[in-house]
Chains A and B, each alone.
Chain A
Amino acid sequence: MENLKIEADIFSLNNQAAQKNRDTFQQHGVFVINIMGSPGAGKTTLLEHILPQLKQSHRIAVIEGDLATENDACRIRQTGVPAVQINTGGGCHLDATMIAAQFSKLHPDKLDLLIIENVGNLVCPISFDLGEDLRMVILSIPEGEDKPLKYPSAILGTDAVVLTKTDLAPFVDVNPKTMANHSMTIHPKVTVLYAGKEGNVYNAAGVIAYIRDKMEAKKQSNKV
């Protein structure tokens, strides 16, 4: 019997595709955000509220991932931002080749920012690099204070956590500060942001400022 050394990461096929995406994004000068979170966390709602402001300063497109329906892409288009929908059938995550297939359809030369809303799932998407610059995990307050502790790899694998539906905190007996602290217990360097209704107004100003900062920081580092 013979033994053949392979020593290959099982994610290497996806990682290679992700690196290709990264090169393509860089060539076209597109900043890419991968948004992840449980089903119902408020990912699409957050986008609906930040896109109208972000599109004033940047040319944006959105890739939506869901098992079925084009509902979320339709919601995004209502904001005036172009969106394509990926239906994974039963697939629990988006992978780098799916993104590559959609990206060319989005007029890459007329784009500054691509936002990918991953399939609602707080486990699987984390393992699949899409070639993005920035990862954001969306956790809604009603999901429970200890959610960051129960899904540590999601928190560890992201740059920022956005706590949404902050206005529901009093009704579900959750302290947003505790949820933020739990996130930082798992990942001390993570940025915690908030979004939710204040009266009748959805406030996601912190998220918008964070995205603008990160885009600007990348622009500056590209100049050096």
Chain B
Amino acid sequence: MHETALMENLIRIAEKAIKNHPVKQVTAIRLSVGKLANVMIDALEFAYDAYPKSDPFKGAKLIICETPILAKCETCGKEYPVKQFPFVCPVCQSRYYTILQGDDIYIESLDYET
């Protein structure tokens, strides 16, 4: 349950990003959350709503898009989507893989009014 710490980071990164832009009001923050990122989306949304936000961020909506897990087989090179553990290559059945996508939480962009 470190969703509050994540929200603090989210706001700090967003504050830094808007510094050199004429932002009057942020209306939405777009967040992409990997399925393997160790967070619950409900808890993230709750933490976001509860987090005290300063002026340009007050009332900004949090739009979360869940990213599926994508793995690359280390044996045959096949890239394949993963739904659940254990990860097995659909082509060669190898269990050796690297995660390409779905293990991070990414702030994509924000919408704002000038």
Q: Does A185 contact B (CB under 8 A)?
A: yes
The one of B1, B36, B95, B107 in contact with A6, judged by C-beta atoms closer than 8 angstroms, is B107
List A contacts of B36 (CB < 8 A): 153, 156
Docked-complex contact A152 and B95, CB < 8 angstroms:
no
**CB 8 Å contact bits of A106-148 with B (1 = contact, 0 = none):** 0000000000000000011011100000000000000000000
Q: Which residue of A lies closest to B25 (CB)?
A: A1
Interface of B is mostly: mixed
For residue B9, give the distance in angstroms from its CB to the closest CB of chain A. 5
The one of A3, A4, A153, A186 in contact with B86, judged by C-beta atoms closer than 8 angstroms, is A186
Docked-complex contact B9 and A1, CB < 8 angstroms:
no
Docked-complex contact A4 and B112, CB < 8 angstroms:
yes
Docked-complex contact B107 and A4, CB < 8 angstroms:
no
Question: How many contacts A-B (CB < 8 Å)?
Answer: 89
Per the CB 8 Å criterion, the residue count for chain B at the interface is: 33
The one of B9, B21, B109, B113 in contact with A10, judged by C-beta atoms closer than 8 angstroms, is B9
Q: Does B2 contact A (CB under 8 A)?
A: yes
Tell whether A10 pairs with B6 under 8 Å between CB atoms, given A2-B113, A2-B114, A153-B36.
yes
A1-B113, A2-B113 are known; give 18 further A-B pairs, CB within 8 A: A3-B109, A3-B110, A4-B23, A5-B108, A6-B107, A7-B108, A8-B17, A8-B107, A9-B104, A10-B9, A10-B10, A10-B105, A95-B5, A123-B38, A152-B85, A153-B38, A186-B86, A188-B95
